[in-house]
Amino acid sequence: MELLLWDVWGLMQAEPDASLALVDEIAERTQAADGFADVQRLYARSGLAVPERIRSLSPVVGPHEVALGAEL
């Protein structure tokens, strides 16, 4: 299933100030020549990895929970 602009999970639902240091670290590592392994490690963390269920803030259907991989 394709994730869309209005799909949110983890840190996207947290208070902005709570995750700024982590977001800065991710941005820094994505720009590092040797940062690929670090980025993989970071994205495996809870709050960054895409879970089995996400929240969709669809402008057409409205807010609802989506089970990823579910048959349509």
pLDDT at residue 70, as a whole number: 58
CA torsion sign, 31 to 33 to 38 to 39?
Answer: positive
Distance CA(47)–CA(59), nearest Å, equals 24
> Number of C-alpha atoms within 13 angstroms, CB side, residue 53?
2
Q: For the segment 41-58, what is each residue's pLDDT rounded down to a tens digit?
A: 888 888 888 999 999 999
Question: Do residues 50 and 9 lie in contact, with contact meaning Cβ atoms separated by under 8 Å?
Answer: yes
Q: For the segment 18-42, what is each residue's pLDDT rounded down to a tens digit?
A: 788 888 988 898 898 888 898 898 8
pLDDT at residue 17, as a whole number: 81
> pTM of whole model > 0.85?
no
